[in-house]
Amino acid sequence: MGCWRCPDFLAASGLAGLAVLFTFNYMLQAAGVCGAAIFHTAGRYAERVVSHNATFRVLSHLRVFTFNKILPLSPGSIARFHQAELLNRLVADVNTLDHLYLRVISPLTSVAVVILVV
């Protein structure tokens, strides 16, 4: 499906056709709609790359911090777990924070930045 089938393009073509009879350039609106679609897609991709990269960095630091703080606390009670089981529990607990960051903190921060800019 090409850009010329987009409803926005059809509406713009109709309005411009009423304003300027017989001298209407259909390619200008088509290029604008296609350019906006490409810009939107590239912007969404860049936003996802940046937000996921930030999430992975925060979670990696949080895992290391959590492991370093919990390990020396109670060596006797931790010794009863296998190392892999303990690591899986820690990773699962920190992974729950992944959803908090991606679904709550990141959107609220983005909204605050947009409000301040506007």
Q: What is the pLDDT of residues 68-108, one digit of tens each?
A: 877 776 666 666 767 677 778 777 777 777 777 777 887 88
Q: What angle do CA 111, 101, 37 make, to 5 degrees?
A: 50
**What is the rounded distance in angstroms from the CA atom of residue 73 to the CA atom of residue 76?**
9
**Least confident piece of the model among 17-21, 34-38, 49-53:** 17-21
Task: State how many domains the chain has.
Answer: 1
Hey, what long-range contacts does 34-40 have (CB within 8 A, 24 or more apart)? 34/3, 37/3, 37/6
Residue 99 confidence (pLDDT): 76
If one compares 97 and 9, the residue with the highest pLDDT of the two is 97
Q: Does 1 score more than 70 pLDDT?
A: no
What is the residue range of 86's domain? 3-117
